[in-house]
Structure 1
Amino acid sequence: MQTTMPDIAHSADALQTGKLDWVGMGNIELPLLFASKGLSDTHVTAKADAFVNLQKEDAKGIHMSRLFLALDTLSCEQSLTPKTLTQVLDSFISSHQDLSNAAKVSIHFELPLRRQSLLSQKQGWKSYPVTVTATLNDGVARIELGVDVTYSSTCPCSAALARQLIQNAFADKFQQQTVDTKQVHAWLGTTEGVLATPHSQRSIANIKVLLASDCEEFDILTLINQVENELKTPVQAAVKREDEQEFARLNGQNLMFCEDAARKLKALFNQTNYQDFFVKINHYESLHAHDAVAYAVKGIDQGYKA
């Protein structure tokens, strides 16, 4: 004899009544096709967090499987775009009528991109951590695109101290001599001639931008290129000797504290059409055991906060 399976979330009384901001699932495994301007749709292995609010105070809970199945449809039948993401959120809410009027999803993945070397024209793969976060509240969608960009930062203070040591060594070496260009040129090519180098470190810019409400496609490539072109010293993939030398030159010509990097990116994003932006600069110090950190936001009312 067939019986109806119990639905406790629908029929049981809540142990305690009250509204909840978000209820849902975290770390859902989600292979996806990510669609973005200028790129072929890219297969990525993502993790998703999916939520709805719980407006009905006496409801026992939500129907989590409905969130999972909506994301599964996105995974198997669609590409990830602003439109399909909004459709997923709408499905979250429509499948929870009388329970919810808002939905949220956050999707995290590594995006592999082919990147060209500085001079040799060789190419290699670089992966960029990407986060897409979207909310739908009373029919209004809000979509954020985030990416982490890794680069090298060379300390201006350390560079000045290194230059001073080189000047002192030059004075000690040649103070009693008539300076000969060839001799100086040869000396500069020795360890004695460049007896000090400034310290540099791998650094990461955590970027988050709020897309325009009428945005129809992601454009992660432009965002990454804007950041890397502004900072000048992104970490490299394929590297030949000429690329390594050019990387050293770029570091020497683009000395920066974390404050410099944050101000560069704030000025950059102030000239774009993003509704809002958030920047966190992390310089993972090679001199200190701690990190140097700076934040920058657009500074609009009810916008991102540092």
Structure 2
Amino acid sequence: MTVLSLPDIASQTTRLTSTLNWVGMEGITLPVQLGTRSVTAKLDAGVSLDEAKARGIHMSRLYLALAPLEEAPLTLSTVKEILRAFLTSQEGLSKQAHLNVEGELPLKREALISPLAGWKSYPFTLRCQLTPDGFQAELGLTVGYSSTCPCSAALARQLIQQAFEEDFSEIPLTKSAVAAWLGSEEGILATPHSQRSFVECSLRLAKGENDELPIADWLESSIDRIEAALGTALQTAVKRIDEQAFALANGQNLMFCEDAARRVDKALRQAPEVTGFQLKVVHAESLHAHNAVACSEWNW
């Protein structure tokens, strides 16, 4: 039987001659190596179409060029080589290559006091592009935390103070009586409102000597820095002693969204691996039906 050559329709010319900024595939499922772990990620792979007469690109070649991500830890160096392979595979059709990697980094986190530990996942997106002007890399990251409103804390303290004055107006003030009152529901009759909150940030990564650093290390370093700045990281497995320590941490870190944004801003400016950033802090309020938001940026 005669084997016929298969038609390559993408190599044909088109009557509608114009260039395109981005052509490729979105939502590619691929296991990606993050440090010592393999996680399922979604990838967007694309190139520019700069040859106006070309009907299309060879998309399957982009897909095949992603194979190294399955075999070695994700690094900027690996991504850069993949982007170069994108451009080479298109035989001069493209001048720019793009790759986005979206997934979640699982980290095991210890409880505040007890020996318990549990897993948390941190959503991230690595956005990279290679253009005639060079290689650019941005890391998107979401970190959750707890925030307690300073205003509601002050109002709760005022109510407790008023109740104290009323309850002890005619009762002898003794240490044991005050201690018993503070430990009763009648004494602590008001509590400040807290909410689960989160930081969304895009980090411009320092390149060069850090290109071989696993992206998992970039992520963990940034997460640790943000959580330390806020002081109220979300917990996993806890005992009552951890829950009490968490309540103490919230009481010692009363934060409006503006306070949280300033804390994270300061922490990221001091990160040697970050050359610029955009950040948004969101407090999903338990008092209101809307969110409180604060944003900041540096060298963006």
Question: What range describes the TM-score normalised by the shorter chain of this pair?
Answer: over 0.9
Q: Does 1:90 align with 2:84?
A: yes
Classify the secondary structure of the residue corresponding to 1:85. Answer: helix
4+ runs deviating over 4 angstroms:
none
Partner of 1:74: 68
Runs of at least 5 residues in structure 2 that lack an aligned partner in the other structure: none
Identity %: 47
- Counting only pairs closer than 5 Å after superposition, residues 19-168 of structure 1 correspond to structure 2 as 19-35=19-35, 41-71=36-66, 73-138=67-132, 140-168=134-162
Q: Does 1:233 align with 2:232?
A: yes
Residues of 2 paired with 1:148 and 1:81: CA distance?
Answer: 20
Residues of 2 paired with 1:13 and 1:2: CA distance?
Answer: 28
Partner of 2:184: 190
Q: Does 1:268 align with 2:267?
A: yes
Classify the secondary structure of the residue corresponding to 2:64. Answer: helix
Residues of 2 paired with 1:74 and 1:131: CA distance?
Answer: 18
Deviations 1:168-216 (A, max 9, x none): 1111101223311110110111111000101111111112211112122
The number of residues matched between the two structures is 293
- When structure 1 is superposed on structure 2, of 21-30 and 173-182 the one drifting more is 173-182
Residues of 1 paired with 2:112 and 2:72: CA distance?
Answer: 36
Partner of 1:38: none
Q: Is the 8 A contact 2:153 2:193 kept in 1?
A: yes
Q: What TM-score comes out, normalization by structure 1 length?
A: 0.92
AA aligned opposite 1:267: K
Q: What TM-score comes out, normalization by structure 2 length?
A: 0.94
Residues of 2 paired with 1:172 and 1:239: CA distance?
Answer: 37
Classify the secondary structure of the residue corresponding to 2:65. Answer: helix
Q: 1:267 to 1:75 in 2, by over 3 A?
A: closer
Residues of 1 paired with 2:205 and 2:140: CA distance?
Answer: 10
Which of 156, 167, 170 does residue 164 from structure 2 map onto?
170
Partner of 2:14: 13
The Cα shift of 1:139 comes to 6.4
Q: Does 1:252 align with 2:247?
A: no
Runs of at least 5 residues in structure 1 that lack an aligned partner in the other structure: 36-40
Q: 1:7 to 1:66 in 2, by over 3 A?
A: same
Deviations 1:223-263 (A, max 9, x none): 11100000000100110111000000010110101111111
Residues of 2 paired with 1:45 and 1:102: CA distance?
Answer: 26
AA aligned opposite 1:181: K
Q: Is the 8 A contact 1:32 1:74 kept in 2?
A: no
Give the alignment's Cα RMSD to 1 decimal. Answer: 1.3
Deviations 1:23-57 (A, max 9, x none): 1110000111113xxxxx21100000111111112
Residues of 1 paired with 2:152 and 2:286: CA distance?
Answer: 11
- When structure 1 is superposed on structure 2, of 51-60 and 23-32 the one drifting more is 51-60
